[in-house]
Structure formats: structure tokens, C-alpha cells
Amino acid sequence: MLAIAAVDGHRFASIDGGEIDLADWRGQPVLVVNTASRCAYTRQYDGLQALYDRYRERGLVVLAVPSNDFHQELRSDEEVKDFCEVNFGLDLPMTTITSVRGDAAHPFYRWVRAQSGFEPNWNFNKILIGPEGGIVATFGARARPMSRPVTDAITGLLE
């Protein structure tokens, strides 16, 4: 119960306008990924969309969190949205450009750090939140979205 309460309090500004409230996905696994448009790992957007396409009907949510903490993101939310739609055909939920590390980190990322000690050390780090709201697994930038460790962790939550 405590984990849900912590996740329930986290809201992000949506790149499409409005708000993304993690509480809306209570009972579903959520993979939260800090992203950047000008990173060597940017091609992982294809894998994130494939992962979302494969498992969304079973409840998985993939949330992209563009961040310029590593100085590899475009200048505006509009540029990020256009880049992702044109180059990757993304239709997964996405926040506005958001800080993910240090004192300026979004409260969700500060909560993750407090709960698990995990803090993104580069773009495309992944945090898997379970249906009950707790942190199930974390993955570094090198973990491809469709890799076995990631998909095994997700399918274990869907079955």
C-alpha cells in the first residue's frame, strides 16, 4: 500500500498538453524511460514502441521522459514531439522535457532514488514499476527495450 501511495502522488506534464498522473495506471506495469533525441541510444525509441505495441493490450504502459540532463535533448517540447513522431512514429505517452537527476530531478526520480538508490546515469535508463506501485527493476542505457531481461521482467508482471 505504501508504494502505491508514493507512486500515486507523481504527475508529469504531458508533451501533448495536460497532465500524466501515474495513479491512472494503478494495477498496470509501467516502464519509465528517460530519453534524449541526440543520443547514440536514441534508436531505442524503435524498441520502446515495439515493446509498447507488443504488451499494451495486456496492460503495459511505456512512459518516455525526455530529459536534457546529459545535454542531448532538443530545445523545446514541440521539437521533441515532432522528432519522435516523424522519425519513430511514437504513440506512447511522453512527458515534457524533465530533469531526472540531482536536486532539480522530478519528484518521481527523487522518490526512485530514495527507494532504490537508482538514479539515471545516462539517457535511456529504464525503471519498471509494478502493478502495486513499487520499483520492480531498473535497467541501464545499454539494456535494449526488447532484450530478454527487460521483456522477462515485464511478462512476469503481466501473467
Residues annotated as catalytic are: 39
Which has the closest alpha carbon to 120: 84, 68, 62, 74?
Answer: 68
| Residues contacting residue 139 through CB under 8 Å, at least 6 positions apart | 125, 126, 128, 149, 150
Beta strands in the chain (DSSP E): 11-13, 19-21, 30-35, 61-66, 126-129, 135-139
Instruction: Please say whether the dihedral angle defined by the alpha carbons of residues 57, 131, 12 and 19, taken in this order, is positive or negative.
Output: positive
CB-CB contact of 95 with 14 (8 Å): yes
- CA–CA separation, 54 vs 92, rounded Å? 12
User: In angstroms, rounded to a whole number, what is the distance separating the alpha carbons of residues 140 and 159?
Assistant: 24
Look up residue 48 and give its three cell numbers.
520502446
